[in-house]
Every structure is written in C-alpha cells, then in structure tokens.
C-alpha cells in the first residue's frame, strides 16, 4: 500500500470518528433534555448511600459469615471393592497430572486455581488464576 493511500485512509477514519463523536454528543443532549421515566424504588440501591462508608456498612453484615474453602488435588472414581482393599501405603491414582494447577473451591464453587507452597512446615496454596464471574457463568452453561 502506498504512503498516499495510507494517509487518505487515516483521514477518512478521522472524519468518521469525528462524525460519530458529534452524533453521540447530540444524542446525549437530546436524552438529557427529555424527562426520563423514574425507576420504581422497590429495593434500596447500593448507590443511594452515596459514599464508600455506607456501602461498607452494608457489606459488614456478611463479612463474618463462614465459608468452606477446599483445595482440590484431583479426583477419581473407584469401586467399593477397591475402596475396601485400600490399606496403609496404598496409592490412589487421580485424574490430575503432576504440575497442573489445583482448584480452589468456596462452598463447592470453583473460584481460583493455584500451586502448592510450603510455609513454616505447613502447606498452603499460591493463587495463580482467579475465575471471573463471567467465566463461572460460562462453565455453568456447559
């Protein structure tokens, strides 16, 4: 593509974006000038307090609710016969591969993945990936 053609395309894009900007500003002015329908106030809005302090006050109610966190190394299915044959030193094969991130579940819902760490002779988990709410919804729809 020649330099002249690139300059022409760039100028055309600038004109389009300026026209779009002007149209959006005009649309906003019309929307602001017409009275909008007021929403029904059935439930209080989180934003009605107008400050972070009021929102934190509302969240304080749930901050002491206990939740169960589970770190899942892997899973497997075995028969009851094989389960009854397990003894000290038995090895149970899991579906997870060595080096794969472990799942972190809160009340049975996957919220993150991470890797094992040892701190002061205790096991822990370093979170490497947090599952977003949209990803959780996507996994539910499968």
Is 34 contained in some domain? no
Is 24 contained in some domain? no
Domain interval for residue 73: 66-140
Higher pLDDT, 60 or 3: 60
Backbone angles phi, psi at 17, to 5 degrees: -70, -35
Q: Where are the alpha helices (DSSP H) in 75-142?
A: 80-84, 133-140
Is 27 contained in some domain? no
pLDDT higher than threshold 90 for residue 83: yes
Is 19 contained in some domain? no
Is 97 contained in some domain? yes
- Report which DSSP code applies to 133: H
Backbone angles phi, psi at 8, to 5 degrees: -65, -45
Based on the structure, what is the number of domains in the chain? Answer: 1
- Report which DSSP code applies to 112: E
Is 80 contained in some domain? yes
Is 108 contained in some domain? yes
Q: Which pLDDT band, with edges at 50, 70 and 90, does 109 fall under? A: confident
Torsion of CA 17, 23, 29, 35, to 10 degrees: -130
- Read off the pLDDT of each residue in 84-105 and give the average, rounded to a whole number: 90
Number of H helices, E strands in the chain: 4, 4
CATH code where residue 87 lies = 2.30.330.10
Beta strands in 33-121 (DSSP E): 69-72, 102-106, 109-119
Is 35 contained in some domain? no
What is the tens place of the pLDDT at every residue in 36-52? 555 556 566 655 555 66
Q: Please state whether the predicted TM-score (pTM) of the whole model is above 0.85.
A: no
């Amino acid at each position: 593509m020649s330099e002249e053609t690139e300059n022409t395309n760039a100028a055309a894009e600038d004109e389009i974006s300026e026209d779009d900007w002007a149209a959006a500003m005009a649309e906003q002015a019309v929307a602001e000038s017409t009275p909008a329908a007021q929403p029904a106030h059935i439930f209080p809005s989180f934003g009605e307090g107008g400050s972070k302090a009021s929102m934190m006050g509302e969240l304080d109610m749930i901050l002491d609710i206990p939740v169960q966190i589970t770190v899942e190394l892997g899973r497997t299915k075995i028969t009851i016969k094989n389960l009854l044959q397990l003894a000290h030193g038995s090895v149970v094969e899991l579906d997870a591969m060595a080096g794969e991130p472990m799942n972190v579940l809160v009340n049975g819902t996957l919220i993150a993945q991470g890797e094992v760490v040892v701190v002061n002779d205790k096991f822990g988990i370093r979170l490497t990936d947090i599952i977003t709410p949209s990803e959780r919804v996507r996994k539910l729809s499968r």
